[in-house]
Structure 1
Amino acid sequence: MSKVAVFIIFCCSIILVLFSLTRQSTEESKPVIEEAKLVTEEPKQVIEAPKQAIDESRIGYTTLAELSGVPWGLAQLDNDTFIYTLRKGESGLVDKTTGEVTPLTGLPSIASVGQGGLLDVAVPKDYTAGQWIYFTYSKMSDGLAVTTLARTRLDGTQFVDWTDLFVSNSGTDKGQHFGSRIAFDDQGFVYFGIGDRGVRENAQNLENDAGSIIRMKRDGTLRETYSYGHRNPQGLTFDSKTQRLWEAEHGPRGGDEINIIEQGKNYGWPVISYGKEYWGPIAVGEGTEKEGVEQPVKVYIPSIAPSSLVVYRGDVFPDWEGDLLLGALVLTHINHIKLDESGKPVKETRLLESLGERIRALLVATDGHVYFSTDSGKIMRLLPDQ
């Protein structure tokens, strides 16, 4: 064989090796998502489907209670009882078994203007009878409605020792974007979100509380702006297992977001957004990316109008373990978002699309069942196989 032929064969071999390595690198960086498992090429990794997979097409629901108003917040008080808020300024208890409703008294004056009112209610995991229960609500301050975090105790059927922990300076003369959900971490901190209150520039102004997530100790001390650049966060939940703080917020026309919140980070609104202006097909801000500004984990175009957000931990839906559930107001369904170990969404299923209800609040009870409220006034429970 001539030296020329040997040289040509050698060159071809080098090209084939380089092509194989390049192809392998590309496939490793873009995993192939299949219905039951996640597959990567080299090294091979397989996450098998759970043994007790739920047929999501057969998930049903049952109604626990019907209320007069929008049940904005829903939390578990003890093994047998839920506590709820109505945006118009009322609160009550629901028996988890019978659905019996008990009204509560002792609320302060609530500014139920526009999207404001009595908003979220949250109960720490270590709660025992007579301890603090947390609320967000809108109140009048200097003639303007502002988002406020408060805590109170329950004595029988009456709230006592109501204390405003934080009255924000987010007031405007507009009626939208109050936020607001509450979350607790494992270090004794409480978090809550405030919307931009209809003045988008305030979300980038660190002197204004609008468009931010606030963190403080449960007694109101060590207060700080934990993150900013939010439009209207109405989903917030802390996952103890992964130590991630998850948030969902409304975009403008398109551009709803799910974010993992980190301390001190800027989440972009209104400098960057995946949404459009309401008055025309014009992008909001400077584009969808900018150095020093966080990117969302997931974006919805068109908008679904996200509400409550929870991480599922429980035995009733075992193959949902560690996944997100997100309520949708405009598209009237519950999103089941499957996550990989890094928190990246890999699959989404829309549940209860035929129900036709605006899903407002979500709750994973201590027994693993999922409860939710609707803007028509219902408190309902998911049924795993109907």
Structure 2
Amino acid sequence: MQVANKPRWIIVGLIVAVMSVFAARSALALQRVTSQDYTLQVSHLAQLPGVPWGMAWLNRHTLIISLRHGELLSLRLDKLSAQQPAWQKITGLPAVWARGQGGLLDVVKGPDGWFYFTYSKPQQGQGVTALAKAQLLQDELGKVSIAFWQELFVSDSASDTNRHYGSRIAFDKQHLYFSIGDRGVRENGQNTLNHAGSIVRLNFDGSIPSDNPFVGNSQFADAIYSYGHRNPQGLAYDELKQRLWAIEHGPRGGDELNLIEAGANYGWPITSHGKEYWGPLKVGEAETMEGINSPRTVYVPSIAPGSLLLYQAKAFSQWQGNLFTGALKLQHLNRIVLDEQGNAIAEERLLSELNQRIRALSVGPQGLLYFTTDSGNLYQLSPVN
């Protein structure tokens, strides 16, 4: 009776508070699933306000997350609380073309300690894939700020569509690689005078390495490292074996895992394992062709890969050297086992029971796996002792 006599706004406030506490508690609840090698503990850590596209670690407790609509967040994993959101906004970003598949995309901490970003930049009424770097500074209260933002590379990739921006970043010890999709224009895959449909290779300052495969060739843009790509949304560099992996979306079927070689052509749209969206006809002239590098594995039907990660940590010792990709369409985490020559010899599909479009992947300081979903969820995956 006392509650019924309270003003309506107080009752609403009490309901919201109870729901918030319940949501925060359930966010830390654990779910156990099994794999071929482990019993896995899945922890839901946070609900984020948008599509979390990329992740990078500022330090062992603070995770940096890019949201596709154009915001950057910091999240203190040691300060998860039922009373307030776990994340804080980081200000100071440039204008972002957040339309269609464009927006604020990848964020990666480079070997030099700088944070590198890819995003779609507004340019003359269209979006182009761009690369920048900045320092991220954290004060004694945990607040993160951007310093020394530097735009490094603006690609020649404009189109009148808002599709296929790429765009992931990977590093070797001296260079940066990042992927650019064909921008919804198939001919771009073989148009080597622009950057669309390619993986580019740069120095850390955005300049073009003198040993890039097409430097000095008037038929190619100097930044191109490989071409013939449709929409590579996953890149991973294997430091131990010194090789670069990419995974990309096919049209309807035909997602490809590729081992990237300098100067190689990966075929799109001349070769493809996929079909036209409007009918049963295959895309391209053939599935394979002389002079075109074939994928190490193909997904038919499409899984729609959203990222790529090479696992080398110790927490999952039996998974060292495996590749992981998030699946958007088929909603699972895909584990790929490689042999010494880089052939995909086995795979395992995990976490399909979550029914989530898995987007970004990251390995934490303790070797645990972290992943985000397009519905804004952040999860931690750990082995059960």
TM-score (norm 2): 0.83
Once the two structures are overlaid, the 10-residue window that deviates more, 199-208 or 146-155, is: 146-155
Deviation per CA, 1:208-247: give whole Å up to 9, x if none: 1100001100001125200000000100011111111010
Could you say which residue in structure 1 is the equivalent of 2:319?
Answer: 320
Q: How does 1:358-369 map to 2 (within 5 A)?
A: 358-369=357-368
1:11 corresponds to: none
Cα distance in 2 for residues equivalent to 1:231 and 1:194: 8
In structure 1, distance between residues paired with 2:162 and 2:110: 30
Task: Find the counterpart in structure 1 of residue 333 from structure 2.
Answer: 334
Contact kept in structure 2, 1:54 and 1:319, CA below 8 Å: no
SS in structure 2 of the partner of residue 346 of structure 1: strand
Q: 2:200 aligns with which of 214, 218, 223?
A: 214
Provide the C-alpha distance between the structure 2 equivalents of 1:298 and 1:105, rounded to a whole number of angstroms.
Answer: 41
Give the C-alpha shift of residue 338 in structure 1. 1.1
Conserved in 1, the CA contact under 8 Å of 2:326 and 2:359? Answer: yes
Query: What is the deviation of 1:336?
Result: 0.9
Residue 89 of structure 1 is matched in structure 2 by 70
Query: Quick one: which amino acid aligns to residue 270 of structure 1?
Result: P
Match of 2:44 in 1: 63
Task: Write the mapping of 1:278-289 to structure 2, written as runs, cut at 5 A.
Answer: 278-289=277-288
Q: Determine the structure 2 residue equivalent to 1:104.
A: 90
Equivalence for 2:120: 138
Taking the aligned partners of 1:342 and 1:367, their CA distance within structure 2 comes to 29
The residue aligned with 1:296 is 295
Whichever residue aligns with residue 183 of structure 1, its letter is: A
Counterpart contact for 2:58–2:136, Cα < 8 Å: no
Q: How does 1:246-261 map to 2 (within 5 A)?
A: 246-261=245-260
Partner of 1:353: 352
Check if 1:154 corresponds to 2:136: yes
Structure 2 equivalent of residue 275 of structure 1: 274
How many equivalent residue pairs? 329
Aligned mates of 1:361, 1:89 — CA distance in 2: 16
Check the 8 A contact 2:38/2:383 in 1, yes or no.
no
CA distance in structure 1 between the aligned counterparts of 2:183 and 2:77, rounded to whole angstroms: 35
- Report how far residue 159 of structure 1 moved: 1.5
The AA in structure 1 aligned to 2:229 is H
- For 1:377, the equivalent position in structure 2 comes to 376
1:115 positional shift: 0.3
Distance in 2 between residues matched to 1:60 and 1:75, nearest whole Å: 22
**Structure of greater Rg:** 1
- State the alpha-carbon separation in 1 of the partners of residues 373 and 181 from structure 2: 21
Aligned mate of 1:204, from 187, 190, 198:
190
Judge which range, 292-301 or 343-352, deviates more: 343-352
**Distance (whole Å) between structure 1 residues aligned to residue 35 and residue 184 of structure 2:** 41
| Maintained 8 Å contact 2:70/2:103 | yes
Partner of 1:181: 168
Query: What is the alpha-carbon distance in structure 1 between the residues aligned to residue 43 and residue 79 of structure 2?
Result: 12
How many angstroms does 1:155 deviate by? 3.7
What amino acid does structure 2 have at the position aligned with 1:143?
Answer: G
The structural deviation recorded for 1:59 is 2.1
Q: Deviations over 1:237-283 (max 9, x none)?
A: 11111111010000000000001111110010001000001011111
Matching residue of 1:240: 239
Q: Secondary structure at the match of 1:307?
A: coil
Q: Helix, strand or coil: the match of 2:115? A: strand
Structure 1 equivalent of residue 24 of structure 2? none
Give the Cα separation in 1 of the matches to 2:60 and 2:137.
Answer: 18
Question: CA RMSD, aligned part only?
Answer: 1.5
Tell me what 2:230 maps to: 231
Task: Give the direction of change, closer, same or farther, for the CA distance of 1:253–1:139 in structure 2 (3 Å limit).
Answer: same
CA distance in 1 between partners of 2:134 and 2:35 (Å)? 39
Measured against aligned partners, the alpha-carbon deviations of 1:309-333 in whole angstroms (never above 9, x if no partner) come to: 0111111111101011111000110
Give the conservation status (yes or no) of the 8 Å contact 2:53–2:105. Answer: yes
Unaligned runs of 5+ in 2: 1-33, 81-85, 139-143, 210-222
Task: Name 1:12's counterpart in structure 2.
Answer: none
* Paired residue secondary structure (1:308): coil
Which one is further off, 323-332 or 339-348? 339-348
- Deviation of 1:55 after TM superposition, in Å, equals 4.5
Q: Aligned residues: percent identity?
A: 52
TM-score by length of 1: 0.83
C-alpha displacement at 1:339, in angstroms? 1.1
Paired AA for residue 60 in structure 2: N
Are 1:122 and 2:104 an aligned pair? no
Contact 1:54 1:384 (C-alpha < 8 Å) held by counterparts:
no
CA distance in 1, matches of 2:93, 2:208: 26
